[in-house]
Amino acid sequence: MSTASAPPLNLAKSPPIDLPMRHFAAAAVAFWIFAAAFAWGTDRFLDFGFRAEWVLGLVHVLTLGWITMTIFGAICQLSAVLWETPLAWPEAARWAWWAFILGLSGFVGELWLGGSRYWIAAVLLVGSVGVYLACFARTMILAPRLDWTARHLAVSISLLAAVIALGLMLAWDRERGILFHDPHGALIAHVHLALVGWVSLTIVGVSYRLVAMFALAHVDSKTPGRLALVLTLAGLAGLTADGLFFGRRLLPLWACLLAAAYAAYAWQMRRIFSARNRRIDPALAYTLLALTGGAVWVLLGVGLAFGFLRDDANILAAYIYAALVGWATPFILGQVHKIVPFLVWLHLFGSRPWTAKSPPPKMTELASERLAWVEFFAMVPAVALGTAGFLMGSQTLLRAGSLFLLATATLYAVNTGLSLSFLIREGAWTKTSAPR
């Protein structure tokens, strides 16, 4: 018995396979670079014993090279599913990928070398993000409808434009001090527009679709999710305006709104997990770890806003670490472990005729679940020890956490490479058009 000769609809509308995969591959490299540099230079991160340029560059490797690059790759592929229309201008997105890498490399390199013209590379980086935003916006305009997940992405993509604009102004003004009378407040606004508005809203929106799909769960009510979106936007708007213009006078209020938003989101996710019809696999385990890391991030934020925690470099580092490594990274790892093997299988074998005597490989054979579990059990202490190391000012704990994180990044790169090797062996990586 053979399959239908026509490719499935989501494959027919999907971009060329190299477009999302080059993003996932570059992101895996950036994750490994961050983990290796963090393990090598942990002594620079405690008690003000670090150079701000080193930390600033490394944080952007994580936020842009790892998290944003992965999200861009996922959106390029998911546009056919979420917006029910092919990605607009895929060739422009491919060129933007090159500009993004060059801009990020120049920006981080200039910071690490102690240069003062890092804002020039930042302009190239901003331009590349602008191309991505244009592609995504055009795709949304052409979409016949926007579902619940797509609406979250529409909001988060719009906020990314604000992140990039404010970041460029901060980079230009860092040596001049002209634009912002409260540079620390502007930095708080920039960081939270990125962490909450861009990264978290994207994760929240995508989780409603992907986690439910991977867990084989169906939940009709979206009331907690809708409440989470409203509270997030209200808290983020207030926090941003307060940081930029009003001297950070109402930080406890905005922290409470954002904490309530996370509680509503966690309640929606609890419903999804309660309705699941599948065992806990690495993808779902990573999601649970991300939810735990997100809760720690929220508690640290409330503690800082109310003054329960001292506002020093170590506590702030723990706050950022919990957000990027404890919340965003586990979620991304879990979803990509499902997305990449699925896309490879769909592209190579989804539309091929086959018989019972010559079946295609199983999707689980395109990556190692055992390796994914080992990676997960390395990630758990990486999150816990790293966060504790910053909170307690312990170089020993921080070093241990960084080594577990490096192990996670290495295993993830190996497992991702295992899936991508099937494309390379089949010669599909160099094909710049999706099969029709």
The enclosing domain of 70 has a CATH number of 1.20.210.10
pLDDT of residue 179: 76
Query: Could you list the mean pLDDT of each consecutive 10-residue stretch along the chain, which spans 436 residues?
Result: 39 80 96 95 71 81 96 90 85 96 92 76 89 93 84 92 86 72 87 96 92 78 90 96 90 96 95 85 94 97 94 91 97 92 82 61 80 96 97 94 97 92 73 44
pLDDT of residue 117: 73
Looking only at Cα atoms, what is the longest distance across the chain? 72
Domain span including residue 375: 13-352+360-425
pLDDT of residue 74: 93
pLDDT of residue 436: 39
Q: Which residues of 142-178 are buried (b: 16+ CB within 10 A; e: fewer)?
A: ebeeebebbebbbbbbebbbbbbebbbbbbbebeeee
In a domain, 432, yes or no: no
Average pLDDT of the residues of the chain = 87
Q: Percent of the chain beyond pLDDT 90?
A: 56
pLDDT of residue 2: 35
In a domain, 8, yes or no: no
pLDDT of residue 433: 44
pLDDT of residue 129: 94
pLDDT of residue 1: 34
Q: What is the pLDDT of residues 149-171, one digit of tens each?
A: 888 999 999 999 999 888 878 87
pLDDT of residue 355: 54
Element (DSSP H or E) covering residue 344? helix 329-349
Contact by Cβ (8 Å): 23, 72 = yes
Helix axes 329-349, 201-214, angle to 10 degrees: 50
In a domain, 346, yes or no: yes
Tokens of 271: 């419903």
pLDDT of residue 430: 56
In a domain, 436, yes or no: no
pLDDT of residue 50: 46
Tokens of 415: 């497992």
For residue 363, the 8-state DSSP code is: G
In a domain, 5, yes or no: no
Which DSSP string corresponds to 130-173?
Answer: HHHHHHHHHHHHH-S---HHHHHHHHHHHHHHHHHHHHHHHHHH
In a domain, 7, yes or no: no
Kindly tell me the sign of the dihedral angle through the C-alpha atoms of 304, 308, 310, 313: negative
Contacts 24+ apart (CB under 8 A), 120-125: 122/167, 122/168, 122/171, 123/168, 124/99, 125/64, 125/99, 125/100
Report if pTM > 0.85: yes
In a domain, 194, yes or no: yes
H helical segments located in 174-312: 183-192, 201-214, 223-245, 251-274, 282-306
In a domain, 1, yes or no: no
Q: How many domains does the chain have?
A: 1
Among residues 290, 349, 347, the alpha carbon closest in space to that of 322 is found at 290
